[in-house]
Structure 1
Amino acid sequence: MPWELVVGIVALVVGLVALTLSVVLLRRSRAAAPAPTPPGPQTRPAGPRVAVVVNPSKEHTRQVAETVRRLAAEAALPEPRFYDTTVDDPGTGQARQALEDGADVVVAAGGDGTVRAVADGLVGTGRPMGIIPAGTGNLLARNLDLPLADVEDAFAVVLGGVDRTIDVGRLKIVRPAQEDAAEAGSEHLFLVIAGLGFDAAMVADADDALKARVGWVAYFLAGVRHLHGRRLLARIEVDDRPPVEARLRTVMVGNCGRLPGGITLLPDAVIDDGELDVAAIDTRGGLAGWAQLLGEVVAQGMGVQNDLKLKIGRIDHVRAKRATIVVEEGEQAQVDGEVLGRAVELATWVEPGALVVRTPAVR
């Protein structure tokens, strides 16, 4: 046999042996290799789930949504959920729905009406309310030292602030018999201040277009028209004390006392002391009385008390857990800057520690 043929046969045999070994080793390696792990559920960003209740008719809505989404993404938070208010439901139902959807914090993005409605949906739940102020007065935001003019700063408080438990006020309104009987005895929540008389008439007459242009100054201009209005006769009863009758301009019941324009109407009011502050305000003597009243407000805001008895512009106030104001004829009533219409009786009371609000870390 030629030696070339022998060499060829040997090479063929060696190749077949090598191929067989390769196949065997490949099968063993595949058998030994762990099975690939099936893809699991995608993990979502950790962190608080933020819900935002917003009035879609306001100009600020788009800016709020864009800013909140961007800041949440930068903080690696879950995508915020937005809930639009409606005419029939200005925020209470939306806040409750947000809780059902698992929100950790519910943000009221709007004015005092939106804040009040969202708070009503969160009272007693222990879940915090954040605030992005976008109204004319922004009363609660002012009293909690929240940023008023910048959405980013306000949302930074939502993400990095501290929770504070505050009181809320409740009010039941009784209307004159000749007005809408279906509304008689209706109940409302307030966070800052409720009033009957001059202050409510001023709020009712403030022009909406002017408020959009000049803000809270519109209330001041409306108030000028009522400086010479009549005084009302009111019967005021606080807690279990005997009722007191007095002629005055307005009666206000406050949970806290800071108003726009740097005015502190109730300097001793504390938002978490479990009490309301009742202020009976009166002026006589025309413009001189109002001038003295203004001086009184400025002085008490600076911690100076005027104890003179014969004053033509005065504020008398007392602390109470409950207060009822009755007037002979219907007077305008308001809660946190929202007009309720005419009333002959306001019954108010405090719910201590009923609401949790996200506030700046340093007060």
Structure 2
Amino acid sequence: MLRHKILIIANRRSGTGAAADLETLATRVFHNTDATFTLSYTQAPGHATDLAGEGVRDGYTVIVAAGGDGTVNEVARALVGTAIPLGIIPRGSGNGLARHLGIPLNAEKALACILEAPAMQIDTFTLNDKFSVNVSGIGFDGHVAMRFSQSRRRGLYNYARIALTEYRRFAPFDVHIEPSVPFGDLRRVFFVAIANSSQYGNNARIAPGCSICDGKLTINAVRRIPMYRMDMVWSLFKGDVTKKSLCTSFNTSELTLHTERKVAYHVDGEPCGTADRFAIRVNPLSLRVIVPPGRVV
């Protein structure tokens, strides 16, 4: 499919607010090519999905999400099961999916990829019927995502500040797994990460080695991390967190988790309220994404 008609959907609120002028950059990159582009800005949560759906109907040959993982999620919802590839211009706080895929964090270079790089099929999944493409979570990270969404400040520093504030307040919980697994149920869990890609963002890899196109998710259940075990935090960036004794990690394509009480959860960093039953299911190779050549995903 020729990439001559491009729709860029941008979220002005993504990241720290220091993004470059997309219209100027896109004009420069697409100059002297056959490509034309339209730049649309989101107005409210969910608006990116509506804009992407309109783009599908209007015959755009590439639809681009310019924002963080939440914006990528919204745009991808409208493209699942279609032949139209998703392009990504990373402009979020963490840019987890873009980092996993090796998409340049520089906006101008990311725009160039949209014209030149191949598209590949990747998996997506649902958590309680809510669409996810990167990493979702149950428990403490869902709780922090809820608090972060209520804050007017963005960025990694503010996220870390909220996480530290809420750390002592959040109580662990037990998890029953259905169908049963050899190691049994999960006890005194702090959070459960459901990972399609390897990382939350900022190279914090909760599921090192995770593939985004193997029909499997990595489930990583983490118990409360004592203050003297700050090596766990370093292990996220080092890439060996699943080897730590506080983690229980396994792969699956479908399962249901039952928690002893209602806990917060998120999909791709966006808070989704609370629940005590979590149905998880992979949708294999359901989304086309533009990825730099030679990238192992």
Q: Classify the TM-score, shorter chain.
A: 0.7 to 0.9
Residue 254 of structure 1, CA deviation: 0.7
Higher helix share: 1
Q: Which residue of 2 is the match for residue 272 of structure 1?
A: 213
Aligned partner of 2:261 among 310, 322, 329: 329
Q: Which residue of 1 is the match for residue 112 of structure 2?
A: 156
1:308-323 map, 5 Å: 311=245, 314-323=246-255
Residue 201 of structure 1, CA deviation: 1.5
Change (3 A) 1:328 1:239: closer
Asked if 1:51 corresponds to 2:11, the answer is no
For structure 2, the residue ranges without an aligned partner over 5 or more in a row are: none
Q: Which residue of 2 is the match for residue 101 of structure 1?
A: 58
Aligned partner of 1:199 among 123, 127, 141: 141
Question: Quick check: 1:142–1:259 contact (8 Å CA) kept in 2?
Answer: no
Question: Quick check: 1:227–1:287 contact (8 Å CA) kept in 2?
Answer: no
Change (3 A) 1:85 1:262: closer
Residue 166 of structure 1, CA deviation: 0.5
Question: Quick check: 2:265–2:272 contact (8 Å CA) kept in 1?
Answer: yes
Aligned partner of 2:124 among 157, 162, 168: 168
Q: What is the percent sequence identity of the aligned residues?
A: 27
Q: Which residue of 1 is the match for residue 284 of structure 2?
A: 352
Q: Cα deviation per residue 1:96-142 (whole Å; 9 max; x = unaligned)?
A: 21122111111111222211011000000021000111111212111
Asked if 1:281 corresponds to 2:222, the answer is yes
2:138 is aligned with what amino acid?
A: L
Question: Quick check: 1:256–1:271 contact (8 Å CA) kept in 2?
Answer: yes
The secondary structure found in structure 2 opposite 1:92 is helix
Residue 335 of structure 1, CA deviation: 1.0
Residue 328 of structure 1, CA deviation: 2.3
Residue 326 of structure 1, CA deviation: 1.6
Partners of 2:218 and 2:179 lie apart in 1 by: 10
Range with bigger deviation, 133-142 or 80-89 = 80-89
Alpha-carbon RMSD: 2.6
Aligned partner of 1:65 among 23, 47, 51: 23
Q: Cα deviation per residue 1:34-61 (whole Å; 9 max; x = unaligned)?
A: xxxxxxxxxxxx9621111123566578
Q: Cα deviation per residue 1:189-218 (whole Å; 9 max; x = unaligned)?
A: 11111111111122222374432xxx2232
Question: Quick check: 1:163–1:356 contact (8 Å CA) kept in 2?
Answer: yes
2:141 is aligned with what amino acid?
A: D
Report the TM-score, using the length of structure 2 for normalisation: 0.87
Partners of 2:74 and 2:180 lie apart in 1 by: 27
Partners of 2:10 and 2:235 lie apart in 1 by: 38
Partners of 2:251 and 2:147 lie apart in 1 by: 29
1:121 is aligned with what amino acid?
A: A
The secondary structure found in structure 1 opposite 2:104 is coil
Q: Cα deviation per residue 1:39-89 (whole Å; 9 max; x = unaligned)?
A: xxxxxxx962111112356657881122213322x2322431233323263
2:124 is aligned with what amino acid?
A: V
Residue 304 of structure 1, CA deviation: 8.9
Asked if 1:262 corresponds to 2:203, the answer is yes
The secondary structure found in structure 2 opposite 1:80 is strand
Aligned partner of 1:141 among 85, 90, 98: 98
Question: Quick check: 1:237–1:243 contact (8 Å CA) kept in 2?
Answer: no
1:50 is aligned with what amino acid?
A: I
Change (3 A) 1:95 1:340: same
Indicate the structure (1 or 2) with the bigger Cα radius of gyration. Answer: 1
Aligned residues: 290
2:289 is aligned with what amino acid?
A: V
Partners of 2:199 and 2:25 lie apart in 1 by: 29
Q: Which residue of 1 is the match for residue 131 of structure 2?
A: 189
Partners of 2:28 and 2:6 lie apart in 1 by: 13
Aligned partner of 2:74 among 93, 102, 117: 117
Change (3 A) 1:296 1:71: closer
1:75 is aligned with what amino acid?
A: N
Aligned partner of 2:194 among 239, 253, 263: 253
Asked if 1:225 corresponds to 2:165, the answer is yes
Residue 258 of structure 1, CA deviation: 1.8
The secondary structure found in structure 1 opposite 2:34 is coil
1:293 is aligned with what amino acid?
A: M
Q: Which residue of 2 is the match for residue 210 of structure 1?
A: 153
The secondary structure found in structure 2 opposite 1:258 is coil
Partners of 1:47 and 1:248 lie apart in 2 by: 46
Partners of 1:67 and 1:262 lie apart in 2 by: 26
Partners of 1:277 and 1:240 lie apart in 2 by: 14
Partners of 1:237 and 1:268 lie apart in 2 by: 25
Question: Quick check: 1:54–1:82 contact (8 Å CA) kept in 2?
Answer: yes
